[in-house]
Amino acid sequence: MNFILPHEFATAVTFLCFSRTITAETADNAEIFIDTDFSRASNRRVVPFSMEAVYTPKFAMDIETSDPDYRSISKSDLSYHIVHPDRAQLSVDDVNQLRSEGKIVLAYLSVGEAEVWLDYWREDWIPGVIPLFLERVNDRFRDRYKIRFWMEEWQEILLNYMENHILRKGYSGLYLDAVDVYTHFLAEGNRPAAADDMIQLVGRIRRWGQSLNSDLLVFVNNAVELYGNADYVSMVDGLVAQDTWYRDNIPLRNVDAEHTDTVVRFLRSARNDGKPVLAVDYPTETEKICDFYVKCSTEAFRCAVFAKGFPGAVITPLTC
């Protein structure tokens, strides 16, 4: 990659390219030639330069607070924003204006778990008893319950919620969460077709959504192994992956290298298909944050490190 600069810009020049900031300085007004391909010879003078990587989040995710509003998203330099439609302070006009500004605002939708604070929840529901689709509580998040997602009653509730809270507001697309709940039912051995059931549900969500909003995007969080299914590939517009290289501050290459290799393989496949890949890990130690960004950026994914629990706070940009 070559940069040839006129003399009037020769005092100090900074380029940002693939998360690399290249700075060159010269004392005179000579033409600057910066060649990042060192294998080529050049008859121009190559100016000495220092290279450092400056890493910042490449997308925003805030599904646990009411912080996202028109102003905060509009002034952001980021294109992708993931919000919870029942928490974000966004009107129909806000969403339309943000989209006109080039923002891609994805609305959170849990397809494999029910959230007790949403308006579809009923006080007379008894987990494991009624309704039949309601299974047991999520051990990590006590306000969410695993769902027998293949049951028609749940899917009707899900589609109705999606229409009223997401599609009518005109969001750019969906961020589907708890898709990987199908692995829970596979592990229990009582739903051998759980993967196919989930693929069918994602397809139904896409068809229903695009019948009301033809350009609706569908991004799926985790469950990247489903991308090995040809039908599923055509159902999703982007993938999101969490804990690919790190689980908190634990390098997964030390405890589950197969997980990282598998996830990266499917993410690469989506990337090669021209689909956006958003990757987020949650290390808090500087060295490990840098390691994540280096690995993730090398794959040409959109990378981010957030505080655990998606409170919206992001780690300060780092020079690594």
CATH number of 209's domain: 3.20.20.70
Query: Tens digits of per-residue pLDDT, 217-268?
Result: 999 999 999 999 999 999 999 999 999 999 999 999 999 999 999 999 999 9
Given 54, 80, 97, which residue is the final one in a domain? Answer: 54
CA distances from 128 to 137, 145, 190 (A): 9, 10, 15
Closest CA to 150 of 101, 221, 114, 200: 200
Given 21, 39, 54, which residue is the final one in a domain? Answer: 54
For residues 31 and 164, state if they share a domain: no
Contact at 8 Å (CB) between 99 and 105? yes
For residues 128 and 31, state if they share a domain: no
For residues 50 and 72, state if they share a domain: no
- Give residue 315's pLDDT: 59
Among 14-18, 62-66, 165-169, 286-290, the least confident range: 14-18
Measured in degrees and rounded to the nearest 5, phi and psi for residue 166 equal -120, -55
Distance separating alpha carbons of residues 159 and 109, to the nearest angstrom: 10
- Give residue 38's pLDDT: 33
Q: Count the domains in the chain.
A: 2
DSSP 193: T
Instruction: Give me the sheet containing 113-115, strands edge to edge.
Output: 113-115, 144-147, 134-137
For residues 171 and 228, state if they share a domain: yes
Contact at 8 Å (CB) between 151 and 185? no
For residues 17 and 49, state if they share a domain: yes
For residues 124 and 18, state if they share a domain: no
- Mean pLDDT for the chain? 84
Considering only residues 226 and 27, tell me which one the structure prediction assigns the higher pLDDT. Answer: 226
CA distances from 180 to 23, 186, 275 (A): 44, 10, 20
For residues 82 and 49, state if they share a domain: no
- Give residue 97's pLDDT: 98
Distance separating alpha carbons of residues 135 and 142, to the nearest angstrom: 13
Q: Which domain holds residue 27?
A: 2-54
Query: Tens digits of per-residue pLDDT, 164-203?
Result: 999 999 999 999 999 999 999 999 998 999 999 999 999 9
For residues 35 and 95, state if they share a domain: no
Mean pLDDT calculated for residue range 266-283: 97
Alpha helices per DSSP H over 38-82: 70-74
For residues 152 and 119, state if they share a domain: yes
For residues 8 and 87, state if they share a domain: no
- Residue 8: strand, helix, or coil: helix
